[in-house]
Amino acid sequence: MKGKNMYLAFGSEVIYDDASFLIEDNDKVGVVGVNGAGKTTLFKIILKEESLDAGKITVNNKKIGYLPQEINFTDKEKNVLDYLYSGRPIEKLEKELNVVYEKLSNASELEQNKLLRQAEKIQSELDSLNQYTAEDELLSLIENMKIDSELLEMKVGDLSGGQKSKIAFARLLFSNSDILLLDEPTNHLDAKTKDFVINYLKNYHGMVLVISHDIDFLNEVVTKTMFINKVTHKIKVYKGNYKEFKRLYANEMIEKELRIKEQEREIKKLEEVVKRAEGASRTNHNLKRLGQSRKKMLEKKLDELEVREFSKINLTI
């Protein structure tokens, strides 16, 4: 996944300004930043629910699975087991494949070639979804996520808030998506289920992007940390988990503060020269010319002056 020259603003509030990033296919990435930095907005852009004003995010036609904070089911009458199994469109693809085979018997040679190519494509999709082992995989997932048999028979519309989150998460893990977008995934998980999910995600064959207040979860799962900077409106990807990100970011802030103080010293000196030149007599041409020269330098230095960021990273990110 690649973000390039991203710009987005809501009225006068800038979210991203010429922001770019690169994430590899199997990266496990924690998305962090203070409240309002643009974490959930990033997910909405990836899901095409929100559009950038400029720039783009390239996903390369990968299948995306999303776990939002609030779960809403469209078909409230479907029972939990059927809902979980529908995480992979195996039944739909099998029906499509049967229709293709039925058409083959009465098709011309030209049509047969076309239908055979279509059948091959559908079968390839079924193979990628582990058609013949999918049920066993789902049963294993149900067992490890501690979803009891009574719950499986319930209608999804009758589930409590915590049950909805857990069932939606299980379906997402079963979906076999190329990219998982997780927004506060551990809110309703008990300790044992959380341990299972941590191991599952660490070994997941795909990309995982997660927004979480659960620092321990981030430190266990993620291999990279994407920091969305609310001050500069840029995005930077750091190698390592959240703990390593904090260490690297703190070092960057120390170095930045030293640069800013040096810039401020230079600006103060230039301001003093400009002030003296402006107060000099009209006949003091040398000082006047020096003042004009230093004024241009001052304007440039002020333009280049870096912005101080938050002295401390908010742990609610």
- Dihedral of CA 100/101/107/109: which sign? positive
Q: Which residues pair with 30 in a beta bridge?
A: 210, 225
Position 97 scores a pLDDT of: 94
Fill in the amino acid letter for 190.
D
Gap between the Cα atoms of 268 and 297, Å rounded: 12
Strand, helix or coil for residue 262: helix
Pairing of strands 54-58, 2-10: antiparallel
The label of the residue with tokens 């959380």 reads 194
Closest CA to 199 of 140, 129, 244, 239: 140
Position 312 scores a pLDDT of: 47
Does domain 1-62+178-240 match CATH 3.40.50.300? yes
Task: With a cut of 50, list the residues of the chain below it in pLDDT.
Answer: 311-312, 314-317
Strand, helix or coil for residue 188: coil
- Name the DSSP class of 158: G
Distances (CA, A) of 52 to 35, 40, 41, 61, 62: 19, 14, 10, 18, 20
Position 290 scores a pLDDT of: 85
55 close to 6: Cβ distance less than 8 angstroms: yes
**End-to-end alpha-carbon separation of the chain, Å?**
22
238 close to 227: Cβ distance less than 8 angstroms: yes
Task: Give ranges for CATH 3.40.50.300 in the chain.
Answer: 1-62+178-240
Beta carbons within 8 Å of 233's beta carbon, 6+ residues apart: 14, 15, 16, 17, 19
| pLDDT tens digits, one per residue of 16-47 | 999 999 999 999 999 999 988 999 999 999 99
- Dihedral of CA 134/139/141/147: which sign? positive
Alpha-carbon radius of gyration of the chain: 28
